[in-house]
Chains A and B, each alone.
Chain A
Amino acid sequence: MRDPRLILLSTVALSAAAFVSIPGALLALGWWLIATPRRLPHDRWRPALGLVVFPLATAALATLSGGDGLSYLLRLSAILLVASWAYSERKGGELLDVGSWALGNGAGFELGLVGEMAVQSLDVLDRDLSMLLLALRQKSGRVTFRALIPALAILVRRELDRARDLGDVLAVRGYRYGGSLCPRFDRGPWDVPAAVLAVGIALAALVP
Chain B
Amino acid sequence: MRVVLEDVAISRGGFRLRASGSFGEGVHLVTGPVGSGKSTLALALAGGLSPSSGRITCEGIRSRMLVLPFPGYHVTGRSLDEEVASWGLSPEPVLAAAGFAGRGGEDPLRCSLGELKRLVLSCALARETDLLILDEPYSSLDCGWKAELSRRLGERRNGITILLTHEDEQLPKVDEIWEIRDGGLAGLGRVPEAIRLWSRPPRYIRAALEQGKVPANVTPGDARDAVCGTRG
Contacts and interface: CB of A to CB of B under 8 A. Distances in A.
B86 A140 contact: yes
Given A139-B87, A157-B109, A151 B76 contact: yes
Interface in B68-100: 68, 70, 72-78, 86-87
A154 B77 CA distance: 9
Given A134-B46, A134-B48, A139-B87, A154 B64 contact: no
A131 B76 contact: no
Given A138-B65, A139-B87, A150-B78, A132 B73 contact: yes
B208 interface: no
Interface residues of A, number: 16
A164 interface: no
A147 to B, nearest CB: 7
A135 B68 contact: yes
A124 to B, nearest CB: 12
Nearest to B86: A139
B4 interface: no
A89 interface: no
B66 interface: yes
A90 interface: no
Interface residues of B, number: 18
Contact of B66 (A134, A140, A151): A134
A48 B86 CA distance: 36
A70 to B, nearest CB: 38
12 contacts: A131-B70, A134-B43, A134-B73, A135-B66, A135-B74, A139-B74, A139-B76, A140-B86, A150-B77, A154-B75, A154-B109, A158-B72
The 9 closest A-B pairs by CB, nearest first: A135-B73, A131-B73, A135-B74, A134-B48, A151-B76, A150-B76, A132-B73, A138-B65, A131-B68
Given A136-B76, A154-B109, 7 more contacts: A132-B73, A134-B46, A134-B48, A138-B65, A139-B86, A139-B87, A150-B78
